Every structure is written in structure tokens, then in C-alpha cells.
Structure 1
């Protein structure tokens, strides 16, 4: 159980809040995933959408770790309903059905996956890799779209607008700053992970250090036209958010395994009207859940993690 919990706890989350707890099932043949509501980010995420996406990412890491251990993970989402715990249950009673179970090759990428808030090169993501990332998301029930130039510019404009509105909102600004860690910690965003800010203001990175910043980040030249992708679902329910988290992590681990870096531009999805305008009307109805920035460059700094003892409740064992 410890290896599984460590893998689940390595998932990405808004402000590195790590809003999850793991518990063995009563029969000790599986693992329950609970939302740790004390770690919610209520101003930026009032409906819990980002929290569920984070939990979905943890679920995917658990699936990969189970495959690494030679187990088949059968997942049930929201078994007790949308507002009840646990948010997911993994039945691990069955052995893997093949010698190379799904996801086992992604296990090393769990430790290597970091958010890179550094400039990327102008090297394009190869079409074959884009196709693999699209397939990875689709297999989790989510549509990944790599944006063309006009879409990238529209999303950057909306992200800049949202960042400015967050900066002007005292409550949002205060909540963001509360997750900045100036000293070694087990959660939140350490100074080393802040990355750089774009001196030409092409890429609107989140201002974790405040506006004006209390702690400066290096000014560097980012890519003039970043490679952005959206993750979109047809509906917008807690189950869709959990599927989005699994798709995001599947895409991110595959990208990591192939040498591709990523970070999330989350600002525009935090405000209802900018999130609505993220949609491409030409693609029909849909709900944009996340914006990913993809590219080649530094891997990003390691973010701190809660200990296994803090996230694994072994009371049933």
C-alpha cells in the first residue's frame, strides 16, 4: 500500500494542495481515494472542479503503480454519489492480464513529472507524439486539442485577462499567496518552483508571489507562440472532472516519458466567463477543463510532497 500511496501522492494539484487521502478497502483488496476537504482552495475552486481533477490524476497514478506491481486496477468513480466519500475505489484483487500491463511503462515517469514554469524552445512537438497524446486523452473519455495559432492567441488573451482579474481580487490574491512557501515544507509552491516570468509578456505565468511581487522571479524570453492544448469534456459533472484528471495525468506521464515538458495555465478556467470563452465555437458544445502548455526545455523544480504516513489511513489494516 505504501508504494501505491506514494505514487498517488505524486499527482499534480492546484497550488500543490494535495487534496487526497487513501484508505484500504474493508476487504484489504483495494484502495479508496477520499477528498481531503481541509485542503480545498475555495476561492479559486468554489465548486471543487480542480480538486476532483487532482484526485483523478492521483487515481491514474494509482492505476500505473498497480500495473507496476502486476495488478489489474478496476476503478469505480463516485460509488456513493457525487457528494459522498470515497471519490473513487480501486479493486486490485486481480492479477494483470498480460505480461506488459497497461501503464506499467509509465511508472518511472511518475517521479520525473514536474510542472515546468521555465521558457521552452521553439521546437515543435512532433505530429506522431501529438497523435499519441490525443489518443491517451481520448482513451480516458476526454478530448485533447492542440491549438492552432489563432486559438493560442485567443487563449493567451483570456489567460492574461484572468490573471489581471485575479491580481485585482484581494481574496483570490490572498489565497494564492497562502500557498507560497518561503521555507521548506511538505506542500504548496516553493520559491524554486516559481520559474521565470516572460520579459516580453507573451506567456502569462501565474503570479504566485503577488502583484506587485514580494519575491522576484527571473525575467527570461519565453517562446513567442507557446504550444497550448485544451482538455475538453461534453458534460461538466464531478465524474467528468475525475475523468479529466486521469486524462491529464496520462497525457503528462506520456509526455514526460518522451522528453516533453508541461505546465498548466489555470487562471482562465477559474473565472466562469473566461472559462466559457475558452471554448472554440467551431468545435461545438463542450467544457474546457484545463489548458496545458507543452514544449521542450528544463524539467522544472521538484515540488514538496506530504509523507505517506500523512496521506495513507491504514486503520482498516
Structure 2
């Protein structure tokens, strides 16, 4: 795992010119972007800095798709949308204005987003200090800057949570975070929560009997020496224990190995459903941005979160996941929230492997 590095200031532009993002700043922004979650931690993204314009492109890395588990690319888009949001957060914290266009070129579907980055550079004068990132008074109407401290602390937590309810005030804050990115976050009642758990167990049974999905899982599972050297995938230290009792709603990357520790999970997992009103690639990207805002907000509030999408990956199981009371349109992700133990980060690829500068 790469160390956290703050975005470094670039030299100010001469008077009257717009300042464009430099290479070191771009690396710092992409490092933050790649801390986002993705299905099986496949990290299906590539970035390109266009130095002349100060624009960063985000492209789908089709060599990292899950062809059997994510044949439509919905999960890929959600992960890349989360990466866009992290980049927005890092840019705001460094004092840059980010202008995002999703799917800007219909003829090039691999180009998922362009992020224009610039800021006005005031002319240095007698007694006037050079500009620094995130100066005091920097406008933050989207409320991104406070989330920056959570980018590298957010981790998917596959371990048992305490049986302690999440207060309604915190739930409202998470729902507001989703709404700010054009999505809905609803908390199903006890009856529908049990239904979602049943649908998830149904999906897990199907997955275990599907050779293609097992192949996807095996490709991105890291055990033994490979776990310590991994730069992607899910290493065994992040699997979480085998379920002894309670309800384990998250995906099991390890199965029932004889040497695997068992533990009790929550008797009543606290779930949230993230949804959008439409179900197109554009909406999947927006769902990813909303998901990451929710996750960073939860991290700042001391909450742990794990993600589950097994039931959403089967065409006939996805519609009944929708809450018939609270809505949520097309459900894009199921979140399990609560209070869990501290856990290590999963690995990320070096920035120079995912960033091209032209």
C-alpha cells in the first residue's frame, strides 16, 4: 500500500494566466482517486493527464472487467464513479476547481469522464504570499474539503460489527450525502431487510454453482505469499472470518477453509439501499460518486461499512431488492453499516501504472 501523500502546490502562474495542474499534483490526485472501492478490488480504471489543458481523463480498463459477474459493466462504472468522486475531493482540498463531464464522447464509451482542473492564480505583489493549496476562505459549496481526511481511512470492512444501532441522525446524514450526488439512500424495515438477506443467500448459492463466476472470484483472490505482494484483488487478511452465527451478508472470498477462524456476525445487520431513478451507464457513474460520498461521510462519523451486490448481479433477483416502501428506484448497491473493528487497507496499484501523462 502506498503511503498517503498530500497534494503538493504547483508554482503559481504569471499574472493574468490560468494555472493548470502539474504532473506531481496529478499524481497526488490520482493516488486519492484510486483509493476508491471497486468490485473484487479489480481497479478497472486508467487515467491520462493532458498537460496542455490541465485535464485528466478517466478511461475504463477493459482488461480488468469481471466478464461473468459484471457482464454489463455496471459494477465497473460504479467503481470508476467512486474514483471520480475521490479525485473531486482531493482537488477541492488542494484549492483546484474540478469540472467533471461524464461520458463526454458517445463514440468512445471507454472514456468515462473528463475532469478539468484549474484555478485563478493571483499576481504576486509586494508583501503578497504565493498561493497555497486549499487557502483559507477557499469556496467549497459542494462540501468536499472535510471529506478529504477520510479518503485513505475508508476501507471495506468484512468483519463482524457490534449489535449497536446506528442513530437516526447519522442515517439522515448518509441519506443527505447520497442525495447531494443525485442518488437515494433508503433504510429498509426489518421485514425487507430479511428479504434482502434471503435474496443474498440465494445469489451466493447460485454463484457457488456457476463456473464463470467462480473463475472471476479466483482471479481476484490473493492468498499466501501473493497476499503480501498484491497490488490489487482481495488479500486474505481482508476476507474476514467464517460465519459462525448471525447473518453474514457480504461476499465470502475464502469459503469454509479448515484453518479459517470463525466468528459470530450481527443478528440483525443494518442495511441501506443506494439507488438511482434511471439505470444507464451515466446513472451507474453517478451512483459511484454518491456511494463514495456516503462511504466517506460514514468514515468521518466513525461508522464501518461493507458492500454487497451479489443479489444485484442476477437479473431476476435485482428487482425484489428494491424497498417497496422507501423506494430507491434501481438499486445499485447494498450497504451494511455499523460499528466494526479497525482493519488494514487493501492494496492499490502504483500511480505510475494507472496514470499516463501526455
- TM-score with structure 1 length normalisation? 0.94
Instruction: Say whether residues 1:69 and 2:94 are aligned partners.
Output: yes
Distance change >3 Å, CA 253–CA 28, structure 1 → 2: same
Corresponding position of 1:166: 207
SS of corresponding position for 1:32: strand
Q: 2:237 aligns with which of 192, 202, 207?
A: 192
- Distance in 1 (alpha carbons) for counterparts of 2:327 and 2:304: 29
Corresponding position of 1:179: 220
- Distance in 2 (alpha carbons) for counterparts of 1:198 and 1:300: 18
- Distance in 2 (alpha carbons) for counterparts of 1:312 and 1:18: 13
- Distance in 1 (alpha carbons) for counterparts of 2:51 and 2:346: 32
Bigger proportion of residues as helix: 1
- Distance in 2 (alpha carbons) for counterparts of 1:149 and 1:300: 28
1:259-312 per-position Cα deviation (integer Å, ceiling 9, x unaligned)? 100010121111111111111234458211100000001133311100010011
Q: 1:5 aligns with which of 30, 35, 38?
A: 30
8 Å CA contact 1:115, 1:301 repeated in 2: no
1:87-114 per-position Cα deviation (integer Å, ceiling 9, x unaligned)? 0011111358952523111112111010
1:47-106 per-position Cα deviation (integer Å, ceiling 9, x unaligned)? 000000000000000000001110121111000028523200111113589525231111
Distance change >3 Å, CA 204–CA 135, structure 1 → 2: closer
- Distance in 2 (alpha carbons) for counterparts of 1:67 and 1:215: 48
8 Å CA contact 1:179, 1:189 repeated in 2: yes
SS of corresponding position for 1:73: strand
Q: 2:355 aligns with which of 305, 312, 315?
A: 312
8 Å CA contact 1:194, 1:217 repeated in 2: no
Q: 1:265 aligns with which of 274, 292, 308?
A: 308
SS of corresponding position for 1:132: helix
Distance change >3 Å, CA 90–CA 144, structure 1 → 2: same
- Distance in 2 (alpha carbons) for counterparts of 1:218 and 1:205: 16
Q: 1:58 aligns with which of 74, 83, 91?
A: 83
The offset of 1:23, in angstroms, is 0.8
- Distance in 2 (alpha carbons) for counterparts of 1:216 and 1:35: 37
Corresponding position of 1:38: 63
Aligned length: 313
The offset of 1:181, in angstroms, is 0.7
In structure 2, list runs of 5 or more residues that go unmatched: 1-25, 121-133
- TM-score with structure 2 length normalisation? 0.83
- Distance in 2 (alpha carbons) for counterparts of 1:247 and 1:216: 38
- Distance in 2 (alpha carbons) for counterparts of 1:287 and 1:13: 19
Q: 1:204 aligns with which of 240, 245, 249?
A: 249
SS of corresponding position for 1:172: helix
8 Å CA contact 1:115, 1:299 repeated in 2: no
Deviates more, 1:124-133 or 1:199-208: 199-208
- 1:1-317 to structure 2, matched below 5 A, reads 1-25=26-50, 27-81=52-106, 84-94=109-119, 98-99=137-138, 101=140, 102-182=143-223, 183=226, 184-210=229-255, 213-214=256-257, 216-283=259-326, 286-314=329-357, 316=358
Deviates more, 1:105-114 or 1:283-292: 283-292
- Distance in 2 (alpha carbons) for counterparts of 1:248 and 1:45: 18
SS of corresponding position for 2:290: helix
8 Å CA contact 2:246, 2:267 repeated in 1: no
Distance change >3 Å, CA 73–CA 292, structure 1 → 2: same
Please tell me whether Structure 1 or Structure 2 has the larger radius of gyration of its CA atoms.
2
Deviates more, 1:244-253 or 1:19-28: 19-28
